[in-house]
Amino acid sequence: MIRFQAVHKSYRVAGREVPALQPFDLTIADGEVFGIIGHSGAGKSTLLRLINLLERPSGGRILIDEVDMTALDDTALRAQRRRIGMIFQHFNLLGSQTVADNVAFPLRLAGERDAAAIRTRVAELLARVGLEAHADKYPSQLSGGQKQRVGIARALANRPSILLCDEATSALDPQTTASVLELLAEINRELKLTIVLITHEMDVVRRVCDRVAVLDAGVIVEHGPVADVFLHPQHPTTHRFVDEALPEEAAAEQARYAQIPGRILRLSFRGETTWSPALSRAMRETGVDFNILAGRIDRIKSMPYGQLTLALEGADTDAALAALRAAGIEIEELKA
């Protein structure tokens, strides 16, 4: 478990303290995939680097399994850091060393001298990330996705319990991003690793995270289970990430709704209700007509969800709403 208690961070720039993170509390549970999303400069990397104390907080405490990281001496800190792996946007591989040597590097750094043990462990790690055939290549001979897999193998070398990912897929194309995220999800499941990942893409959060915090100019403006944040964003910044709509587009949408007759609702389906015919049943039983204005059916991690914007017309729209609610569908009224 990672706990931030009243942590804040300022950088000293030209003799002045410039705040990067306002005081915050946050708990990340063992075994979860926790996402931190925010625009460039929001403080994401700073927050992530506080976890392994690559940055020291200006105040507050960072506890990992109840060990206060800020109170450790150098030797104890090095030992704790071995339990925390990290991967980076630009991979940070050693260009003059082979894939196998890049992965062996943290093992040697941790004091392993037994060449056979290193070979065995490296082979195991390369198999885990699907790069068995590439051990003797150099980073320049690999694709971006393969380089990040080397980065992941290297990060896992010393069997960490936490993996930090700093924009790990931001330099990759969408398909490669999906396969790297799938690998991270698998590692989380099978090795029970806690993963903290930062990103500026909501799609990354949607695919792998259990919970998410939204960071805006050094402030955590919202956090919670991904489905809650995704389906019911509260803060304008979160809206921007979820809707990917510009505020003026959202305003135009609202104006358009005013022209459409009837009550306008947004329905959210989660899990199994996504596949049940609850909507047609409720409408048939109450004699209400509906028109679909917008919609999306997708997945949050492995949970299916749907969101539909409907205009309702009919005598008893209240009864239709009650029937939908009874079927476990969440309803927001966009126009009465």
Given the complex with ligand ADP, which of 40 and 140 has the nearer CB atom? Answer: 40
Q: How many residues bind ligand ADP (CB under 6 A)?
A: 11
- To the nearest whole angstrom, how small is the minimum distance from the Cβ of residue 118 to ligand ADP? 34
219 secondary structure, DSSP code:
E
* Distances from the Cα of 236 to the Cα of 153, 242, 244, 247, 265, angstroms: 38, 10, 11, 9, 20
**Phi/psi at 29 (nearest 5 deg)?**
-85, 155
Given the complex with ligand ADP, which of 191 and 217 has the nearer CB atom? Answer: 217
Stretch 202-241: interaction string toward ligand ADP, x if CB under 6 A: ----------------------------------------
Given the complex with ligand ADP, which of 19 and 314 has the nearer CB atom? Answer: 19
- To the nearest whole angstrom, how small is the minimum distance from the Cβ of residue 171 to ligand ADP? 14
14 lies in the site for ligand ADP, by CB under 6 A: no
Which of 45, 199, 286, 307 touches Mg ion (CB under 5 A)? 45
45 lies in the site for ligand ADP, by CB under 6 A: yes
72 secondary structure, DSSP code:
-
Stretch that binds ligand ADP, among 42-50, 66-74, 124-132, 280-288 (CB under 6 A): 42-50
57 lies in the site for ligand ADP, by CB under 6 A: no
| Cα dihedral 28, 195, 12, 67 in deg (nearest 10) | 50
Pull the structure tokens for residue 5. 């208690």
CA distance 151 to 155: 6
44 lies in the site for ligand ADP, by CB under 6 A: yes
Between helices 99-109 and 144-156, what is the axis angle to 10°?
20
State the DSSP H helix or E strand holding residue 7, giving kind and residue range, or none if neither: strand 2-13
Binding at 43: pick from ligand ADP, Mg ion, none (beta carbon under 5-8 Å per type): ligand ADP
Adjacency order of strands within the sheet including 303-313: 289-300, 303-313, 263-270, 330-335
50 lies in the site for ligand ADP, by CB under 6 A: no
Which of 6, 11, 76, 117 touches ligand ADP (CB under 6 A)? 11
Which of 2, 4, 7, 20 touches ligand ADP (CB under 6 A)? 20
Report the chain's terminal Cα–Cα distance, integer Å: 45
Could you tell me whether strands 219-225 and 211-216 are parallel, antiparallel, or unpaired per DSSP bridges?
A: antiparallel
Pull the structure tokens for residue 268. 């959210």
CA distance 327 to 119: 57
Stretch that binds ligand ADP, among 35-43, 122-130, 188-196, 317-325 (CB under 6 A): 35-43
102: left (phi over 0), alpha (psi -120 to 50) or beta: alpha
Burial class (CB in 10 A: 0-12, 13-18, 19+), 168: buried
Stretch that binds ligand ADP, among 38-46, 120-128, 248-256, 316-324 (CB under 6 A): 38-46
CB contact set of 191 (below 8 Å; sequence gap of 6+)? 156
In the complex, residue closest to Mg ion by CB: 45
Stretch that binds ligand ADP, among 34-42, 107-115, 133-141, 169-177 (CB under 6 A): 34-42
Which of 6, 25, 27, 41 touches ligand ADP (CB under 6 A)? 41
State the DSSP H helix or E strand holding residue 315, giving kind and residue range, or none if neither: none
Binding residues for Mg ion, rule: CB under 5 A, are 45
Binding residues for ligand ADP, rule: CB under 6 A, are 11, 13, 20, 38, 40-46
